[in-house]
Amino acid sequence: MFLHYKKKMLGGQGLFYPIVGFASLLAFMYMLFGDLKIDLQQQIKLSFVQRNGTQFYVDGRPVYINGWNSYWLMDHAVDEYTRPRVRAMLQAGAKMGLTVCRTWAFNDGAYHALQVSPGRFDGRVFVALDHVIAEAGRHGIRLLLSLVNNLQAFGGKTQYVKWAWEEGVGLSSSNDSFFFDPSIRHYFKNYVKTVLTRKNTITGIEYRDDPTIFAWELMNEPRCTSDASGDSLQDWIEEMAAFVKSIDSKHLLTLGLEGFYGPKSPKSLTVNPGPWSSLLGADFIRNSKISAIDFASAHIYPDQWFHDQGLEEKLKFVAKWTRSHIEDGDKELKKPVMFTEFGLSNLNKDFHPAQRERFYKVVFDILHESAKHNGSGAGSFVWQLLVGGMEEYNDDFGIVPWERSSMYLLIIHQSCRLAYLQGLIQENKSLKELCLKPR
């Protein structure tokens, strides 16, 4: 997300709950979902997702994604008292017909850090990530795993720069030195290799060989504001994308862009939300054209980008923004385009949940229309979904979808019409029950 939760560091002191609350949560989850141990005999057999031109394919059939973000899965899988939420969320997603969850495969130097210091990992947290992947596979959910944060939450590039500075090898204290400092590039490559070659202690499968992982994302919302030309970020992407592919040729790779057009792009003047957005060192077209990047990504946050517009104006922009990026995928990139975050804040003046539903529907309708015509609009991911009792992990965009029936049905409707286009409903018992059930 652009501005809010990612700036909140959730320190250990803020994560203690009353003992009774934990017991109640566990009892509630047990009643809902039964024994929390993963039964590997129930793992759903998944195949690797592949790309051909502007389309994703699985077993020769085109794939369109109705997905969601739950960044917190690994963090919650660390401790026994919060682990039930991982199963609850993945099971709930599957019951809504959602197929891919985007989540963090990083936590650098923060509370529940996966990477405690360069090249040093907390085994307990790695087992938590093992659990997330195994649990996702059990429910037939694939994962889009992000490898580092541009922002400071959960460490991010700031932590890498701090490590290099503290060890006396850093070239600069600027956060953007993450992209050009050789020592920091080495740190990140070591991290990537460790994650991709990790053997899951639950499934026994190395991450790079596990089809439960839909794709890797190099970075969440990369920006290099110290170099508006974009050359620094472009060079970093080219090197890191090639490095990932040298280790893992089976999985798809994306970048994690917000979708802004760079200063040399004609669309920087006609589609970008403002002049500021072309000066962030990123360029949707240039960055996404790199051959090792399999699909493009963009985010949609109209109320973060516009502060004086009403809902109708924002929705017009959303439609224009979404269609523009799909057009880029169709005509210039010749690759799928995924909208890997989109959300509407509840802090807007006169906010009502129905406004969020209208926003979601605009995105869903455009993606569905693209899919009907075999276009590059390959999917979208709501930011963000949670289960009940997670207020401290929420931001002004998160929802518990079943708490509002109209939102719940809207998400299911998108799942079902995309499944219909893929010819899945009649042959999949769960989808048939979900999509043909009278409502």
Element (H, E) at 56: strand 55-58
CA separation, residue 128 to residues 84, 121, 122, 132, 200 (Å): 12, 12, 10, 6, 10
Measured distance CA(281)–CA(279) in Å, rounded:
6
Is 341 annotated in the active site? yes
* From 221, 258, 327, 357, active-site residue: 221
* From 217, 258, 341, 357, active-site residue: 341
Query: Could you please report the per-residue DSSP string of 173-216?
Result: SSTTHHHH-HHHHHHHHHHHHHHHTPBPTTT--BGGG-TTEEEE
Can you say whether the dihedral through the CA atoms of 345, 320, 148, 162 is positive or negative?
negative
Cite the beta strand spans of 290-439 per DSSP E. 296-300, 337-342, 377-382
Q: Which residues contact 304 (CB under 8 A, 6 or more apart)?
A: 2, 3, 345
CA separation, residue 51 to residues 137, 250, 252, 342, 395 (Å): 21, 11, 8, 23, 34
Q: Nearest-CA neighbor of 191 among 219, 226, 168, 152?
A: 219
Query: Could you please report the per-residue DSSP string of 104-158?
Result: E---BSSTT-SEEETTEE-HHHHHHHHHHHHHHHHTT-EEEEE--BSSSTTSHHH
Per the omega criterion (within 30 degrees of 0), is the bond before 355 cis? no
Specify the residue for token string 């609350």.
21
Q: What is the SS3 assignment for 298?
A: strand
Measured distance CA(161)–CA(180) in Å, rounded:
11
The residue length of the chain stands at 439
Neighbour count for residue 74 (Cβ, 10 Å)? 25
Measured distance CA(86)–CA(79) in Å, rounded:
11
- The terminus-to-terminus CA distance of the chain in angstroms comes to 33
Q: Nearest-CA neighbor of 38 among 135, 136, 143, 141?
A: 135
Torsion of CA 391, 396, 397, 402, to 10 degrees: 40
Measured distance CA(123)–CA(331) in Å, rounded:
45
Known catalytic residues are 221, 341
